[in-house]
Amino acid sequence: MDILERKIVDDLLLSYQEVGGINRIDSANLPSRPAIAALCEGLMQILFPGFLETEAIESENLEEETAQVLSKIVYALEKEIKRSLRLLSEENLKVKDPKDLASDFLSELPNIRGLLRTDVEAAYEGDPAAQSFEEIILAYPCLEAIAIQRMSHVLYCFGIPLIPRMMTEWAHSKTGIDIHPGAKIGSHFFIDHGTGVVIGETCVIGSHVKLYHGVTLGARSFQKDNEGNPIKGIKRHPNVGDNVVIYPGATILGGETVIGARSTIGANAFIMNSIDEDSLVALSEVEHEIKNKRNHKEAEDNGQS
């Protein structure tokens, strides 16, 4: 190690001593990001058998293939859950067993598959460009984001720290769709295009809801306690009723905001108050100035405005 490298190391060691809160030294490991990514990929294989493998799966080998993938997931999931539970208090830790939590979660996978089937149907019916279920499963980022969120939501409801959020952020990094694991989402959910969609922790979304890219279902403000610290665990994000369509760029904020069933929210709308059922929300028409490009350039060349 040369002199410059030695100085950098010394400066970093000093920083580790002086800057607290972002170090985890002499402590047991927390969940591994690569391990969570591998878990997500394995779980997607379980949910959509035959779609994500490099080799075809024959029906006579399905049981064996499923058992092999599941065995790897069980081992890895128990390990990561055990690591995540280190963040809990001793009292909470006593009532949570990693093996039981992993088993309870995996027992929910058939139910999650049933919901995902409705999401595929919603995408097929909601997008004229969709040619088949196969195309949606293999090529639509929204399905991957929704599948991971539906699984992470189960772990979130079990009170498991870190892992649910790490899963949804893995999906976020791949798809550009940010859905918090705490959000409650009904059946037949479709996000068209998807990039830039943000759905907050306490959001409740009904069935047969369709969102477009750039939609935000967020918090209006953050309530604070007497010492100025944000109050955690309160309702901050809107509710969206059944059969609602929300077009690109719309922003809907607030824990008391409810979008009534069968409503349509137009592009770029900004909403902080509840909307009645069967409503259409659209921005007022904006006048556009339209000029002939050729004539405009000729006028500029002649020194005319």
Q: What is the pLDDT of residue 140?
A: 96
Amino acid making up residue 110: P
Secondary structure of residue 39 in the 3-state scheme: helix
Q: How far is C-alpha 243 from the chain's CA centre?
A: 20
Alpha carbon distance 298, 300 (integer Å): 5
Residue 206 tokens read as 């009904």
Contacts of 106 (CB under 8 A, 6+ apart): 70, 73, 74, 77
Per-residue confidence in pLDDT tens, the chain, 305 aa: 788 888 888 888 888 888 877 777 766 688 999 999 999 999 999 999 888 776 767 777 778 888 888 899 999 999 999 999 988 866 565 667 899 999 999 999 999 999 999 999 999 999 999 999 999 999 999 999 999 999 999 999 999 999 999 999 999 999 999 999 999 999 999 999 999 999 999 999 999 999 999 999 999 877 777 777 878 889 999 999 999 999 999 999 999 999 999 999 999 999 999 999 999 999 877 777 887 877 766 666 666 65
Predicted model pTM: 0.87
Secondary structure of residue 206 in the 3-state scheme: coil
Positive or negative CA dihedral for 63, 66, 72, 74? negative
Q: What is the pLDDT of residue 29?
A: 81
Count of Cβ atoms closer than 10 Å to residue 219 Cβ: 19
> How do residues 146-164 score in pLDDT, each as one tens digit?
999 999 999 999 999 999 9
Positive or negative CA dihedral for 9, 14, 18, 20? positive
Enumerate domains of the chain plus CATH numbers: 25-177 (1.10.3130.10), 196-285 (2.160.10.10)
Residue count of the chain, please give it. 305
